[in-house]
Amino acid sequence: MKAVGFTRSLPAADPQSLVDFETPRPVPAGQDLLVEVRAVSVNPVDYRVRRDQGPADFGTRILGYDAAGIVVETGPGCRLFKPGDAVWYAGAVNRQGSNSQFHLVDERVVGPKPASLAWADAAALPLTLITAWEALHEQLRVRRDGGDAGKRLLLLGGAGGVGSIAIQVAKLAGLTVIATASRPDSIAQCQRYGADLVIDHTGDLKGQLAAAGHAAVDLVFSCAEPDAYLKPATELLVPHGSFCTILAPRAPVDLGMFRQKSLRYSHEYMFTRPVYQPPDMIEQHHLLVAAAALFDAGRLRGTRSATLGPITAANLRAAHVQLESTHTLGKLVLEGWD
């Protein structure tokens, strides 16, 4: 089968950073599905693994942590899907990825593809959707039933892949969403997905919030590197407020600054369940089932910003270069095979 992978860490523009190659079609065992991949999207984790982690013990390592496709075979332990089912998922960072014609994935982190979404639109969503959903409903403990309606969420970095879907998930829960963006196109992106207010993260956050009538916020969700925002967050958050980040701080965190207001600090890493396989691993399946219904009901919208062509090394290198610029809006998708 066709696949795209790498054997050593190189700059994304290097022709050898990602290469096309042939590899045997895998065989499912246990609770694995074998999925014929129709479309994939590219996330910052792809270039970070390529750049910082290298191939490890994979030989030629295949990246790709978002996919939409058709189940063609199932392992003997599978109970949730059958051949012919259309699915979407984000997979696991410690396994070979979805940039291959056929891909093995544990059915417990897979959902039925929303019927209303095309392959490319479905592939754009799972990783960022799971990240936003878990961050809001598990880490920040926002109730889905509207019990936290009216609470103010400061979303740091609202125009990227996670931010674009996090705005929508937060609005479904009734939150007031204050997103940050600094360019006209990123401001427009936040507004397009329903942010109540957009402020500039390069400026005085407290002053901008006060000018808009917000003396404080209840929740902070950082989709950007959190170091610069940890101290301002302690000033902006109400007592017993919560701060969640999807990126690890570069410097050690002084959690003492959170003590006086009894603030909660947490990380969201959507690969925790696929990697550690805890008893509640199937929650990602349930999440994707619930989200598919919301897309099919028109209550959530896709975040695909561009389709870069078929799944080839050249197109994936171009996607990595663009993502590493850190100015990408929404999600980049590749569909089909040459």
Give the domains, in start order, of the chain with CATH numbers.
Answer: 2-125+276-335 (3.90.180.10), 128-267 (3.40.50.720)
Residues 6+ apart with CB under 8 A from 126: 66, 67, 88, 89, 90, 111, 288
pLDDT in tens, 308-318: 999 999 999 99
pLDDT of residue 58: 79
Residue 154: exposure state from Cβ atoms within 10 A (0-12, 13-18, ≥19): buried
pLDDT of residue 153: 98
pLDDT in tens, 63-101: 999 999 999 999 999 999 999 999 999 999 999 999 999
Q: How much of the chain exceeds pLDDT 90, in percent?
A: 93
pLDDT of residue 80: 98
pLDDT in tens, 137-195: 999 999 999 999 999 999 999 999 999 999 999 999 999 999 999 999 999 999 999 99
Q: In this structure, are residues 74 and 129 in contact, taking their beta carbons and an 8 Å threshold?
A: no
Q: Where are the alpha helices (DSSP H) in the chain?
A: 44-48, 119-123, 126-134, 161-172, 184-192, 205-211, 230-236, 272-276, 283-296, 313-324
Residue 59 has pLDDT above 90, yes or no: no
Residue 234 has pLDDT above 80, yes or no: yes
Residue 328 has pLDDT above 90, yes or no: no
Task: Measure the CA–CA gap between 32 and 274, rounded to whole angstroms.
Answer: 12
Q: What is the dihedral of CA 299, 303, 305, 310, to 10 degrees?
A: -110
Residues 6+ apart with CB under 8 A from 329: 159, 160, 164, 185, 186, 189, 305
Of the candidates 50, 61, 62, the residue with the CA atom closest to the CA atom of residue 99: 62
| Mean pLDDT on 226-237 | 92
